Structure 1
Amino acid sequence: MSDQPFASARRRVALLVHTSTAWCREILAGVAEEASHTGGWDCWIEQRGALENLVLPESWQGEGTICRLNNEELYRQIERRGLPAVNTSWLAEHSTTVCNVVSDETATGRVAAEYFIARGWKNFAYIGKPQSMPYLDRCCPTYVETIQRAGFTTHQRSIQSGSGAVLNQAEMRDIIDWLIEIPKPIATLVWTTTMGYELTKLCHQIGLRVPEDLAILAIELEPLVSALAPVPIAYIDQAPRRIGIEAAKLLNRLMDGNPPPSEPTLVSPRGIAERMSVNAMLVEDDLIQAALAFIRELVNQPITANDVAAATKVPRKTLERQFTTQVGKSVTAVIRQTKLEYAQHLLRETRLATQEIAERTGFHHVETFFRFFKREVGLTPNEYRHG
């Protein structure tokens, strides 16, 4: 037997992704998960903040990179070295030099609009990216168009701050004036969780209730900021771990010599991570409010539309007619939706076994829960949890 050391086949990959946000850390976790399935990578990575430019060190020699392409110099470095490269940020366009694996922006806007519309909101708002950010916002058009098709309009607002983080005094005054002016109650989609955090403080300052007067949903994932807000901020689950997994898969193919794809890889959002900032379905009718409260309170029971009718003391036909008019869905459809959203929440946010989740959503048999979930989502509960 040779006494030479065993030669490692581990690939050398630079991970040029910020480490200061939950979004980027989830992407890196997905990269690590996928890399481990192919023998592991030798990764070069530095701790970097969200506003820092990322660059390849001149002395580093490797075979590929997964990056958040946020500056021209990094693009030029990748191009000069001829490295296979995958970008995970909306800030750059897909190309054959740097391929994009990103969340689906247009689907994100549509999911947000459909979520609000399904809950009976009639007024809508959007606070978009900072004006100074060099980026084409593709979420806003889909959000506005989906709302418009439902017969409503959107009140739009943008901010000047370069980072979109903390509002300055002039911006606070402008946003307060805007909040006072727009019709209420209103459902609001914001670019970042931090913007949602700022909004909750301003609403408290001028006596608006969240979510009763102003519901807030963030595009960007940042659970810590959400938890620190006066009212925890809901956000769209854009599956950043799945983005990391798909980015690593693509980089492996590129390093194997396969041609780059002509189109970006788009990862669909998984749904809404519900928090108190959106925890309201807007209906004016007392009967419907009572019925919805009954459905939410008994989400862990196998209730039917007849049970809801009995609890509200009205004939089933009357209840169905009211639901169709004011909610746009049948009683049974709302029961299914409530159970599905609660199951998705438990799969995303807890480590409960699938059997336990089935019981907590009113299914006596886990097989029935599996069939229900697969029919509604197109994935098994386990596929959804690990997606």
Structure 2
Amino acid sequence: MKTSKVHRIALLFNGNKSFDREVTAGIAAYLGSTRAAWDLFLEEDFRLRLAGIEHWQGDGIIADFDDPAVAAALSRCSIPVVAVGGSYADEAQYPRGIPYVATDNFKLVKLARDHLIDVGLQRFAMFSLPMTGENRWARERENAFGSLMRDDQMDAEIFRGCETTASSWDESVQGQIAWLRSLPKPVGIIAVTDARARQLLQACTIAGIEVPEQVALIGIDNDPMVRMFTRIPLSSVIQGAQEMGRTAAHLLDQMLHGVRLANMRIQVPPAGINVFASSQHQVIKHPHVMRARHFIRQYACQGIKTHQVADYVGVSRSSLETYFRHEMGCSVHDVILRFKLDAAKAGLESAERSIADVATGCGFTSTQYMYLVFKRELGCTPRAYRDRALGENTLAPG
């Protein structure tokens, strides 16, 4: 029986980056759904290392070209290469003679801004990254934001801050706080990554700035690792990274069978938005309700009760309930439960935590009680919610 040739393929990605992990997951999904026979080379720790790559004796490469060093190292490669990375308005930014699969930076930013407009905000800003060659994609997101703001005849407020190292951490946080305090409120902020959004959420907490009443925040990546470390569940734009991986693998598969694809470019749009508390802006008029919601967002998952919220605000429980009924149309307990439910939904969208751990971590008194709340509020069990979320993350179209 004739068998297909097994091709030796190198994947040059950085497993520390959520985007790269999702792209490689898409490559794996393509291989699992086709007859392509590939032996894969990846570093044992899933890091991107270029030393000696020019001497690698293989049949093809798929690589993250956001790093200029990768593009330079593979510019004269004699075997088929497919590049993956950000989209660029300037054609000269794309590598020559190599098919390129891009995330659509303009649509990522537009989707985030449209969401902030939909929740009623009229002022916007962006939290970006310092200017380096490795952050070229962040400049493109800045340019997209600037273009959208100019179209609406508004100034583009962009803050880059500094690199967050152990030695510069305090300086970085204080710089973020100073910037946040300088912004007119309320304001919607788009962070170029979830990691940057997490830092800004922490700065808001330290500075006592209410999220999302004063600052509504949305990131880009839908990174489950980042969500584990945010006290307030983070809204995020979902990149079509897995679709990019499938597309890149398909292109390389064609090239391995003699198809010429030089200079082909494919842009993959975002797959949607995961909306959580950080961007769910509502106009709250009563200062006691605003203060109470700020406290609830931070501590709902620690099992707080209505009387503890009232103590924090400095009013009686009955008075606070009256304010909530008038302003929100629901009880304090309802709002606490809503935030716990949002946190549980975010926790279930990763397979890394057990359902019991999610229940405990989100302040439910038992797994059974969380099951009851999910059935009542969402019409499904936590396990069914997780299965559906993980299935959508794997199969979501680009």
TM-score range, shorter chain: 0.5 to 0.7
What do residues 314-363 of structure 1 show as CA deviations (whole Å, max 9, x unaligned)? xxxxxxxxxxxxxxxxxxxxxxxxxxxx9xx99x9599xxxxxxx9889x
Amino acid at match of 2:396: R
Q: Does 1:44 align with 2:41?
A: yes
Aligned partner of 1:218 in structure 2 is 219
Q: Which segment is superposed worse, 256-265 or 182-191?
A: 256-265
Q: Which moved more, 1:16-25 or 1:267-276?
A: 16-25
SS of 1:138's partner is helix
- Give the root-mean-square deviation of aligned CA atoms: 3.6
Alignment counterpart, residue 89 of structure 1, candidates 85, 88, 92: 85
Unaligned segments of structure 2, at least 5 residues: 287-341, 352-375, 380-391
- 1:302 maps to none
Q: Report the Cα distance in structure 2 between the residues aligned to 1:158 and 1:49, rounded to whole angstroms.
A: 28
What is the aligned partner in structure 1 of residue 198 from structure 2? 197
Could you tell me how far 1:82 is from its partner in structure 2?
1.2
Structure 1 equivalent of residue 146 of structure 2: 144
SS in 1 for 2:94: coil
Q: Is the 8 A contact 2:98 2:262 kept in 1?
A: no
Letter in 1 for 2:101: V
Note the alpha carbon deviations across 1:58-114, whole angstroms, 9 max, x for none: 553211100113555544543443121112223994334332212101111111111
Number of the residue aligned with 1:107: 107
Whole-angstrom distance in 1 between the partners of 2:165 and 2:237: 18
- Does the aligned pair in 1 maintain the 2:271–2:396 contact within 8 Å? no
> 1-side partners of 2:186 and 2:127: how far apart?
16
Equivalent runs, 1:285-296 vs 2, <5 Å: none
**What CA distance in whole angstroms lies between the structure 2 residues aligned with 1:283 and 1:84?**
57
In structure 1, runs of 5+ residues without a counterpart are: 286-341, 352-358, 363-380
Change in Cα spacing, 1:350 to 1:171, as seen in structure 2 (3 Å) is closer
Residue 289 of structure 1: aligned partner:
none
Structure 1 distance, partners of 2:377, 2:46, is 40
1:278 pairs with 2:279: yes
- AA paired with 1:170? E
- Name the CA shift for 1:273/1:40 in 2 (closer, same or farther; >3 Å): farther
CA contact 1:126–1:156 (8 Å) conserved in 2: yes
One-letter amino acid of the structure 1 residue matched with residue 217 of structure 2: I
- Three-state SS of the structure 1 residue aligned to 2:200 is helix
**1:158 paired residue number:** 160
Q: What are the equivalent positions in structure 2 for 1:374-385 lying under 5 Å apart?
A: 385=396
* Alpha-carbon separation, structure 2, partners of 1:269 and 1:224: 19
- 117-126 or 70-79: bigger deviation: 70-79
Aligned in 2, Cα 1:89/1:153: closer, same or farther, shift over 3 Å?
same
Q: CA deviation at 1:250?
A: 1.2
After TM superposition, the score normalised by the length of structure 1 is: 0.66
User: For this pair of structures, how many residues does the alignment match?
Assistant: 298
Q: 1:23 to 1:74 in 2, by over 3 A?
A: closer
Structure 2 counterparts to residues 1-387 of structure 1, below 5 A:
8-36=4-32, 37-48=34-45, 53-55=49-51, 57=53, 60-69=56-65, 71=67, 74-90=70-86, 93-134=93-134, 135=136, 137-150=139-152, 152-161=154-163, 168-282=169-283, 349=349, 385=396, 387=398
Residue 131 of structure 1 and its aligned partner are, at CA, apart by 1.8
Task: State the SS of the aligned residue for 1:280.
Answer: coil
Distance 1:130 1:123, change over 3 A: same
If the length of structure 2 is used for normalisation, what is the TM-score?
0.65
The aligned amino acid for 1:15 is L
Contact kept? 1:235, 1:274, Cα under 8 Å: yes
